[in-house]
Structure 1
Amino acid sequence: MNVNLKEVILPHFLAILSFYLVVIIYFSPIVFEGKMIFQSDILQWEGSAKELLDHRQRTGEEALWTNSMFGGMPAYLIHLDPKGDITNTLIKVLTLGLPHPVSGLFFGMVSMYLLLMGFKVRPAIAALAAWAFAFNTFNFLSLEAGHNAKIWSVCIIPLILAGVHLAFSNKKFLGLSLTALAVLLQLKFNHLQITYYTLILVVIYGIGQLVKAFQEKKLISFGKITALLLAGAILGGLGNLARLSAVLEYGKYSIRGERNLPQAEENDSGLDKNYAFNWSNGKLETFTLLIPNYFGGASQQALPDNSAAEQALRSQGMEPQQINQFVNNAPTYWGDQPFTGGPIYGGAIMIFLFILGILFAPPLYRNVLMAMTLITLMLSWGKNLEWFNYTLFDYLPGYNKFRAVSMALGITLLVIPILGALGLEQIFLNQKSDKTKVAFFKGLGITAGLILLALVFAHWSGFRGTNTGYPDWLQAALKTDRKSLLHADIFRTAIYIGAAAFLLGLALYEKLKIEYAIIATGLLVLVDLWGINGRYLDGDSFSENPSEQHFAATPADEKIMQDEGYFRVLNIQNPFNDARTSYRFNSIGGYHGAKMSRYQDLIERVLQPEIDQFVKKAQEGNFDYAGIPVLNMLNTKYILAGRGANAVFRNPETNGAVWFPQEIIPVDSNEEEISTLAAIETKIEATYNSSDTGNALPVGSGNLSLDSNEPDKLVYSGKVEEEGLAVFSEIYYPEGWKAMVNGEEAEIHRVNYLLRGLVLPEGEVRVEMKFQPQSYFRNRTLSAIFQYAVLGLVLFGVFIEGKKRTLA
């Protein structure tokens, strides 16, 4: 078979080249200058992962436990790179060596392009949709915040849908292989909330195919294809067996699993409902998909020169420095989310094309994609659509483990370009029909009506924000500025839609070549999104080495670093939402969205009250170290209150690494245990839950010292004068920790609600604790085998498809 390179190969080459170029041009400081984006969450991750990365560099081994956060926790959700894993190499090859994390945007464009090729959309339209998908503000705001795993997970979804669609389009082996590969890669990034949303999309698509199969009486064929795809998804999942099994095992012990202390009117498992739905998109806020500054933009955003707020502040006699500070960080956002980095904007032209898609796309896919759009919008509204979302939260399996539901808008912005591309393709397939021309202008009219409706709703809402602490005169000025921002962006939206409609109209009436009109419209989409993204991720967002500055040692750090012992540090400045302390020290706090549930209980019920009381007394000049017995049991040797050397306070009352309590108090429940813990003197008293241990734990005496420590291995030695319980200042976790006492395995007891305890025999003892979770080690080799199987399947699928084309 002769292949026309110009018609068959060249368009695809140019499309992929364009994806590569737009990434390297926008992110040229990263690609050519070696700079990095200042990503707050990535800096938090660096602090969290430093101990693990150092351990791997020093030993060549993966540490599966970290002592640097929250007293100690499994490391699966912080950093995990199993031996034999080939996914990093695959990603590097598939993204042509582009640097992480911007490589994800390139992969997303290629994935969207492949999906639309499966729908037989012409290359120019597919490229337009791919640009719109990758450059929406959801991706860029996520990138700015450091949500790299989320971006990658979203950008892999089109490849999953491509595999599913190809399987239902008589390309079973290619569909099977792409599905397996996409699932393998998505699960590698371990963003299970996005994977959950992906499953919802696949189910909706499957329902559409089921209806079609029923109508065509092809249910058996539907069943076979579904089984084939399920096998591919399972194979991709098995490629992450070590990672997934460890994460799922940990899940039930995290704040997303079952609760130890059930709260009134709340689920017995999963996240707190208020916490889960705290970031819920407002229904009217959905208009930001069309008009970026519809709700004022970011929570803090610079106002234009001579804004109403600036004039109001000047009229009140404010100092120029104070005025500049306010107008450069003005509270322009007036939605009901706690805060936002910017609007979720899909591109005005893309919304216009989406409406055309509703009018023109084939009925099956129009209905499927509209259902996807509606469902994801409803999910994003969260607490603003209680009857729907609270029902899902209470009854849909696993859904109560996810939070920040406004994230679902990222999935909406994946669906919109697909339907827009299908609609645009149908317009030019039926170009000569008068009905097509009428429907085209009908779509333009509907889009104009949406803009007008958005304007009416905004004025009806009154531009009121949540910043009620400002005086009335400043509130009025802010409302004026919010109104101005909205009007300016409505005008901007109208200009872009009008320009696109003009170009497409010229092509529709054969006054301009179709390909030229599509490419020009695509460039308008890109320019539009580029401009809005530049408001939030511009040249100032790149720097030489953000972590070097962020983690530079302070005089306080240097003072603590002089102590080479084993201890923990409490940074009283936002301790449980900051991982900077974890970069150098074992920390009482940290930053993680899935900390251990028992530790969260301890924070809420004991640690925070202890910290508050200690700070209050310290401000009065009374450093009551004996009054923080639970912090003492966690071996909190240093309390950090700032960056200066004089902000470091050494705690002389810490319990140390291990001790023998003189009294052991049995309790019957978690509630009784944590209440008892808050009242005892932890140096001489300990608690244990009698329901966990059949026999009473004996009181002992002796002296042990910590000889060596690694993240997942601790060695102690000493002399026990009387057989009995030794309490270790280490967090108890039932899956994987093994204790050897003088070479024989000993049972680890949970004491003091969340610490480890061992009953030690009389005499000289050597205690060795190792973290060796079988869920990980048992499955690590299997994961590598299945990954190679997926790679082989992809090569086989491509070969089969190529052979079919040759025979054709």
Structure 2
Amino acid sequence: MKFDFKADVLPHFLAISSFYLIVVLYFSPIVFEGKMIFQTDILQWEGSAKEILDHRESTGEQALWTNRMFGGMPAYLIHLDPKGDITNFLIKVFTFGLPHPISALFFGMVSMYLLLICFKVRPYIAIIGAWAFALNTFNFLSLEAGHNAKIWAIGIVPLLLAGVHLAFSGKKLLGIVMTAFAVLLQLKFNHLQITYYTLLLVIVYGLGQLVLAYQQKKLPDFAKITAMLLLAAVIGAMGHAARLSSVLEYGTYSIRGERNLPLDEHNDTGLDKEYAFNWSNGKLETFTLLIPNYFGGASQGEVPKNSASEKALRSNGVDNAQVNQFLNGAPTYWGDQPFTGGPIYGGAVMIFLFILAIIFSPPLYRNVFLSMVVLTLMLSWGKNLAWFNYAIFDYLPGYNKFRAVSMALGMTLFVIPLFGAIGLENVVDRIGKKESLKPFLIGTGISLGLILVGIVFASWAGYQSSAGNPGYPDWLMEALKSDRKSLLRTDALRSAIFILIPAILLGMVYLNKLKINFALLGIGLVLIIDLWGVNSRYLDTDSFIDNPSEQHFAATPADNKISADKGYFRVLNIQNPFNDARTSYRFNSIGGYHGAKMSRYGDLIDHILLPEINGFVKKAQEGNFDYKSIQRLNMLNTKYLLAGRAENAVFLNPEANGPAWFPENIAKTSSNEEEIETLAKINTKETATYNAQDNGNQSIITGSGTINLENYAPDALSYKAVVEKAGLVVFSEIYYPKGWKAFIDGEETPILRVDYLLRGLVLPEGEHTVEMRFEPSSYYKTKALSITFQYLIILFLFVGITLTAKDSMDHE
């Protein structure tokens, strides 16, 4: 085989170098100055994971439970880094040491580049497709928000489809091992919603291959390849068997699983429809793929000087400070979502190439990729396409576990650059044929025509959301609508220019006025300028700061006051308790921030805790601190209530029940509904609710004595009990049946569920040592298996690449 450096190595070297350079240049403050993005969700994660990370640092062990969030929940839902796991090392190697999370963008570009090469797209077009895939605003807005796992999971999608495509394209061994490797990497980031969407796209691709196999009478080959790919996916998933088995086991007990209390909805499992579809993309909002400010941009955006809003405000006597405040954070967004950080923009250049792909690509690719785009758009519309999305929510297995369906647009923006690059390849292939000029001009006209159509539709919609802007006077509302219209039209003109430039470049190639490589270089540069410009509206140099964690979690006087207490207790932050994890950074918290809290805890929040907290706050504002009225908070050992950052914002609750206690009465119930209604009425220190049917019909009696917590670790607690009369002890710990084990003097004893969601034990008379340990068998039985499969996958990948390369050389 004759080796040609210019053809075989240089394009790939330039591709990888360009990907690395783009990431380094855009995120230079991170790479060179050690700065970070203020990512709200990552700060939330850091707060929730602090106990787990501290425990690992001090003991070297992985804690599988944490008490810092929602009274207590499995730690593997928040952070899991078991010994022997090699995926972190692999990520560092494949991203050349780029810092997390921006390394995801580099990997995504490499991943897309490999996929396009597998589709026989020439390297310089594949580079353009890779740039477009990584630089869309969906990724950058996700970075700003801190959705790092989502970006990584999407960045691995092209690698997975490359494996599937190779398997169906004659390179079965390489395709199968690449698929297993991609599944291993994607599942590492534990974003099952993106994995679910990936599966849907693979199914669409598979249906295209099924049709092709039927036409070519190769159905047996299709069946064999499909079976091997399914086996590859299973092997890849086995690399995370310990975490997956534990998470899937937990799913039944989370708010995404079976409901404990009935709701007036068709489905009795999964999320509430209103919650799941709250973030649904509007149908017209799809135009933001082409025109970034089609719906005004972010929920709070800047409007230019001398805008209609400024003129209206000044003419109505509003003072200068208030004018500037409004102009810097005006409600420019008028779409269907509750709020948004910015538009989902795919790039006018790539939308233009996507239109050309529809015209120029072979029917198989056109049908497959168009189906993918249509499907993901329909999914993103959510409640705005209720007849479709509510049906699949009710009947498609597993789909009712997910929320924020607008996330499907991340998959749309995977398909558009993929198909757009394939389309550009087909255009270039036919560029010397005169009959291809007319369809090229038609594609250009359609792309520009879509902009005009979008402007007309926006005018019909009236530049005002269905919710309106309550509280705004008519004169300001009319001025704001005028500014929204101006933002749209300015960006519409911008998009038209970014379509015309590549169209002119390709037109010059048609007329033999420009070489194709120069045209491709120009298209690539225009695409980068386009996407870079829009991304910098939302993630610019001002977004990078020194150590946001240090700033966010800096100890306040209130924190210091509570930290002086070295006892065991929980804290309720009255200010947004169930959507904030800052409290969890230092203290065991009643609240937290997580999308899969325990189902019973969610019931307690909705039916009891929120009304209880609101009632207490109302009385406290009148000077009556009625701690006896917060009985359910007391049973959770809520010793401190936090109402701000000052020292005097800390309130000591003298009625907290403590870590464990002997109730004087037992209220027997026969259903979840009866139990939670009873729980809402009782004094939890004196009475405990008990459902015998849910506890193996074990009968219990009240006892008496004392019990104290002696030793604490996140997943292990030890108590000393002096029992005067045998009977029930209630612990202020969250009941979870899959893993918690109790031992009385070393002998295992069953844990009872009492007070709807707490643990209970029946203790015999005498002095006893009581231990509770979280030892989920689903994790420990599969931990070694996970590590073994990770190493096997890497070995298979190495063998697959080696044998494929050898086979290619033998056929040269």
TM-score by length of 1: 0.99
1:651-670 Cα deviation digits (max 9, x unpaired): 00110000000001110000
Aligned Cα root-mean-square deviation (Å): 0.7
State the Cα distance separating 1:509 from its structure 2 match: 2.3
Inter-partner Cα distance in structure 2 for 1:264 and 1:457: 37
Deviations 1:196-240 (A, max 9, x none): 000000000000000000000001111111111111111101001
Map of 1:443 onto structure 2: 443
Farther-moved stretch of structure 1 (77-86 vs 281-290): 77-86
Q: Look up the match of 1:756.
A: 759
1:266/1:273 contact within 8 Å kept: no
Cα contact 1:266–1:272 (8 A) shared by 2 = no
| Structure 1 unmatched runs, 5+ | none
- What is the CA–CA distance in structure 1 between the aligned matches of 2:419 and 2:698, rounded to whole Å? 65
Alignment partners' CA distance in 2, 1:13 and 1:594: 43
Mapped to 1, the partners of 2:64 and 2:197 lie a distance apart of 28
Q: Could you say what secondary structure the match of 1:100 adopts?
A: coil
- The answer to whether the Cα contact below 8 Å between 2:160 and 2:182 also exists between their aligned partners in 1 is yes
Contact kept, 8 Å, 1:637 with 1:650, in 2: the verdict is yes
- 8 Å CA contact 1:428–1:508 kept in 2: the answer is no
Aligned-partner Cα distance in 2 for 1:27–1:509 = 40
Q: Which range is displaced more, 461-470 or 708-717?
A: 461-470
Quote the offset at 1:507 in angstroms.
1.7
Query: 2:286 and 2:694 mapped to 1: Cα distance?
Result: 50
Distance (whole Å) between structure 2 residues aligned to residue 232 and residue 265 of structure 1: 38
Q: State the secondary structure of the residue aligned to 1:150.
A: helix
Structure 1 residue aligned with 2:621, among 611, 619, 622? 619
3-state DSSP of counterpart to 2:156: helix
Cα deviation, residue 66, structure 1: 0.5
Instruction: Tell me the residue number matched to 2:125.
Output: 125
Shift of residue 692, structure 1, vs aligned partner: 1.7
What whole-Å deviation, never above 9, does each CA across 1:636-687 have from its counterpart, x for those lacking one? 0000000000000000011000000000111000000000000000011001
Q: In structure 2, how many angstroms separate the alpha carbons of the residues matched to 1:241 and 1:511?
A: 58
Superposed CA offset, 1:389-413 (max 9, x none): 0000000000000000000011001
Distance in 2, matches of 1:562 and 1:537, equals 40
Using the alignment, how far apart are the partners of 1:146 and 1:452 within structure 2? Answer: 35
The one-letter code of the counterpart of 1:580 is: R
Distance across 2 between alignment mates of 1:312 and 1:625: 51
For 2:525 and 2:382, the matched residues in 1 are separated by 34
- Name 1:770's counterpart in structure 2: 773
Task: Name the residue aligned to 1:590.
Answer: 592
Task: Name which of 648, 659, 662 aligns with 1:660.
Answer: 662
Who is 1:411 aligned against? Answer: 411
Matched, 1:244 2:244: yes
Compute the displacement of 1:523 (Å). Answer: 1.0
Alignment-derived partner of residue 18 in structure 2? 18
Corresponding position: 1:532 with 2:534: yes
**1:512 deviation in Å?**
0.9
- 2:630 match: 628
**SS in structure 2 of the partner of residue 207 of structure 1:** helix
Higher alpha-carbon deviation: 569-578 or 305-314: 305-314
Post-superposition CA distance 1:288-322 (Å, at most 9, x none): 00000000000001111111111111111111111
Secondary structure, counterpart of 1:725 in structure 2: strand
Question: Scaled by the length of structure 2, what TM-score is found?
Answer: 0.99
Q: Which residue of structure 2 lines up, in the alignment, with residue 746 of structure 1? A: 749
- Alignment partner, residue 156 of structure 1: 156
Moved more, 668-677 or 309-318: 309-318
Q: Is the 8 A contact 1:239 1:786 kept in 2?
A: yes
Match of 1:570 in 2: 572
Structure-2 separation of matches of 1:564 and 1:690: 37
| Aligned 8 A contact 2:132 2:347 in 1 | yes
Instruction: Tell me the SS of whatever aligns to 1:449.
Output: helix
Question: Which letter does structure 2 place at the counterpart of 1:641?
Answer: A
Comparing 281-290 and 458-467, the one that deviates more: 458-467
What residue is the counterpart of 1:711 in the other structure?
714
Match of 1:377 in 2: 377
CA displacement at 1:266 relative to structure 2 = 4.2
* Per-residue CA distance 1:338-370 (angstroms, 9 max, x = gap): 000000000001000000000001111111000
Quote the Cα distance in structure 2 between the aligned partners of 1:221 and 1:264: 48
1:781 correspondence with 2:774: no
Matched with 1:696 is 699
Q: Residue 395 in 1 paired to residue 398 in 2?
A: no
Matched, 1:737 2:740: yes
Matches within 5 A, 1:464-503: 464-465=464-465, 466-503=468-505
* Deviation of 1:806 (Å): 1.4
Identify which range, 373-382 or 304-313, moves more after superposition.
304-313
Contact 1:607 1:630 in 2 (8 A): yes
CA contact (8 A) 1:278 1:404 kept: yes
The structure-2 alpha-carbon separation of the partners of 1:469 and 1:266, relative to structure 1 and needing over 3 Å to count, comes to farther
Deviates more, 1:462-471 or 1:661-670: 462-471
Distance 1:745 1:703 in 2: 21
Letter in 2 for 1:63: A
Structure 1 residues 537-563: Cα deviation after superposition (integer angstroms, max 9, x where no partner): 001110010010100000000000110
Deviation above 3 Å: which 4+ runs of structure 1?
none
C-alpha distance after superposition, 1:587-632 (max 9, x if no partner): 0000011000000000011111110110010001000001111100
Q: Where in structure 2 are the equivalents of 1:99-118 lying within 5 Å?
A: 99-118=99-118
Counterpart Cα distance in 2 of 1:265 and 1:351: 39
Paired with 2:721 and 2:420, the residues of 1 have a C-alpha distance of: 72
Q: Which residue of 1 aligns with 2:808?
A: 805
C-alpha displacement of 1:448? 1.3
> Could you tell me how far 1:696 is from its partner in structure 2?
2.0
Contact preservation (8 Å) 2:671, 2:691: yes
**Per the alignment, in what secondary structure is the counterpart of residue 77 of structure 2?**
coil
2:141 is paired with a residue of what secondary structure?
helix
SS at match of 1:691: helix
**Residue number in structure 1 paired with 2:8:** 8
Query: 1:801 deviation in Å?
Result: 1.3
CA distance in 2, matches of 1:163, 1:70: 41
Structure 1 equivalent of residue 31 of structure 2:
31
Cα distance between partner residues in 1 of 2:807 and 2:514: 37
Q: Distance in 2 between matches of 1:367 and 1:15?
A: 29
SS of structure 1 residue aligned to 2:500: helix
What is the 5 A alignment of 1:216-235? 216-235=216-235
Give the 3-state SS of the residue equivalent to 2:694 in structure 1: coil
The number of equivalent residue pairs is 808
8 Å CA contact retained: 2:266, 2:394: no
Partner amino acid, structure 1, of 2:348 = A
Report if the CA contact (8 A) 2:262-2:268 is conserved: yes
3-state DSSP of counterpart to 1:692 = helix
Give the secondary structure class of the aligned counterpart of 2:140: helix
Q: Deviations over 1:415-463 (max 9, x none)?
A: 0011111111111111221221111001001111111100100011110
Give the 5 Å matches for 1:206-605: 206-465=206-465, 466-605=468-607
Percent of residue pairs bearing the same amino acid type: 68
Tell me how far apart the structure 2 counterparts of residues 190 and 701 of structure 1 sit (CA, whole Å).
Answer: 46
SS of residue matched to 2:693: coil
Amino acid at match of 2:676: I
- Give the match's secondary structure for 2:648: helix
Question: Given residue 681 of structure 1, which amino acid in structure 2 is its aligned partner?
Answer: N
Report the CA distance between 1:77 and its aligned residue: 1.5
CA–CA separation in structure 2 for the residues paired with 1:499 and 1:432: 20
Tell me by how many angstroms 1:510 deviates.
2.1
- Per-residue deviation at 1:743? 1.0
- Mapped partners of 1:116, 1:226: distance in 2: 21
- 1:721 is the counterpart of 2:751: no
**Which whole-Å CA distance do the structure 1 matches of 2:158 and 2:606 have between them?**
41
Partner deviation per Cα, 1:709-734 (whole Å, 9 max, x = no partner)? 11000000020000000000000000
- Matched to 1:789, the amino acid is L
Task: State the SS of the aligned residue for 2:700.
Answer: coil
Which SS does the other structure have where 1:766 is aligned? Answer: strand
**Deviations along 1:721-778, whole A, 9 cap, x unmatched?**
0000000000000000000101110110000000000000100010000001010111
